[in-house]
C-alpha cells in the first residue's frame, strides 16, 4: 500500500463514516476496485482518525457529560444523557459479541453490501416524514441503539440508521443529530479496543499517519455537513445515492 492508497482510503473513511452512506460498504468497494487488501491495523488507524474527529466536534457536549458524571450529579442533564448513552450502546455490543462472525462473513459479499445500501436508502427516505419535539428517553435510546447494531453490517450506515430511527420516533432534529453522534463514540472506541487487543499493531509506516490525518480532517468536515443536512430537512436526499449504489452493486454481483 502506497501513500496514494492511504490518502484515498483515509478520505473515503472520513467522508463515509459520518455521512449516511456507510463507510464499511465504501471501503470494501474501494479496496475491491484497487485490488488492495488493507491490513487490519491500517483500518484501525482510519477509525481512530474519525473517532478523534467526532470527539473534537462534540467536545463541549462531552465535557457537559463528563463533569456531572464525575461529580455524581444524578439530577443533571449531562448525567441523564450518559445513562441514555449507556442504554443505547447495549444492542451494538450484544450484536457484536453474538453475531460477530455473521457480520464478518457479509464483508466478503458485494451482494450483501448492495442489500445493505438499499436498506440504508429506505430508512433515509422514510426519515423525511419523521421529526418532532420529543426528547430521547430510555425506550428511544434502546431503539436507536438497536438500529446502530444493525449498521455493523456492510452497506448499512450507522448515522443513517440512528438519525433516521430517532427522527421517525419523533425526536427533535438537533437532539437526533447529537444523540446519534454521541452514541457512536463508545461503540467505535469499544470496537477499536477489541480489534487492537485481538490483533496488536506491530509496526506502521508513514502511510498510517497520512491515512489517520486524512480520515480525521475530512471526518470533522463531514460531521458538519450531516448536521446541516439534518437541520435543513435534506438528510433524506442521501437516499438517492445509496439506492443507486445498491442497485448497481446488486446488478454487478449477479452479472
Listing DSSP states for 50-112 in one string gives HHHHHHHHTHHHHHHHHHHHHTT-TTSHHHHHHHHHHHHHHHHHHHHHHSHHHHHHHTT-HHH
Q: Tell me how far apart the alpha carbons of residues 163 and 174 are, in angstroms, rounded to a whole number.
A: 10
Q: Which of 200 and 16 is assigned the larger pLDDT? A: 16
pLDDT digits (tens, 9 = 90+) for 20-40: 998 877 877 777 777 777 777
Long-range contacts of 193-201 (CB under 8 A, 24+ apart): 194/96, 195/40, 195/43, 195/44, 196/44, 199/40, 199/41, 201/41, 201/44
- Work out the average pLDDT over 150-169: 95
pLDDT digits (tens, 9 = 90+) for 85-114: 999 999 999 998 898 888 888 888 889 999
Q: Does residue 115 have a pLDDT over 70?
A: yes
Q: For residue 37, what pLDDT is reported?
A: 73
pLDDT digits (tens, 9 = 90+) for 238-255: 999 999 999 999 999 998
Q: Does residue 173 have a pLDDT over 90?
A: yes
pTM, to two decimals:
0.92
**Cell numbers for 85:** 448513552
Q: Does residue 168 have a pLDDT over 90?
A: yes
Helix axes 110-126, 23-34, angle to 10 degrees: 140
The SS3 of residue 162 is: helix
The residues, any chain, with a CB within 8 Å of residue 4's CB and separated by 6 or more, are none
The answer to whether the Cα torsion of 190, 191, 192, 197 is positive or negative is: positive
The SS3 of residue 134 is: strand
Q: Does residue 78 have a pLDDT over 90?
A: yes
Q: Does residue 41 have a pLDDT over 70?
A: yes
Q: Does residue 205 have a pLDDT over 90?
A: no
Amino acid at each position: 500500500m502506497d501513500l496514494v492508497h492511504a490518502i484515498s482510503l483515509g478520505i473515503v473513511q472520513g467522508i463515509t463514516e459520518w455521512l449516511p452512506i456507510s463507510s464499511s460498504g465504501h471501503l470494501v468497494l474501494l479496496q475491491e476496485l484497487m485490488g488492495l487488501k488493507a491490513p487490519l491495523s491500517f483500518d484501525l488507524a482510519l477509525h481512530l482518525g474519525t473517532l478523534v474527529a467526532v470527539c473534537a466536534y462534540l467536545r463541549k457536549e462531552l465535557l457537559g457529560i463528563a463533569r456531572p458524571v464525575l461529580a455524581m450529579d444524578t439530577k443533571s442533564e449531562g448525567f441523564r444523557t450518559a445513562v441514555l448513552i449507556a442504554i443505547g450502546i447495549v444492542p451494538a455490543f450484544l450484536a457484536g459479541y453474538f453475531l460477530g462472525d455473521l457480520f464478518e462473513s457479509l464483508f466478503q459479499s458485494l451482494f450483501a453490501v448492495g442489500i445493505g445500501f438499499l436498506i440504508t436508502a429506505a430508512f433515509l427516505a422514510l426519515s423525511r416524514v419523521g421529526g418532532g419535539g420529543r426528547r430521547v428517553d430510555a425506550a428511544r435510546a434502546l431503539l436507536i441503539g438497536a438500529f446502530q447494531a444493525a449498521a455493523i453490517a456492510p452497506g448499512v450506515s450507522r448515522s443513517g440508521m440512528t438519525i433516521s430511527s430517532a427522527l421517525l420516533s419523533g425526536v427533535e432534529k438537533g437532539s437526533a443529530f447529537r444523540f446519534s453522534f454521541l452514541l457512536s463514540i463508545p461503540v467505535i472506541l469499544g470496537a477499536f479496543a477489541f480489534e487492537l487487543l485481538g490483533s496488536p499493531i506491530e509496526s506502521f509506516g508513514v502511510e498510517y499517519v497520512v491515512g489517520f490525518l486524512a480520515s480525521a480532517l475530512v471526518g470533522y468536515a463531514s460531521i458538519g455537513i450531516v448536521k446541516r443536512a439534518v437541520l435543513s430537512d435534506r438528510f433524506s436526499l442521501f437516499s438517492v445515492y445509496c439506492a443507486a449504489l445498491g442497485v448497481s452493486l446488486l446488478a454487478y454481483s449477479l452479472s
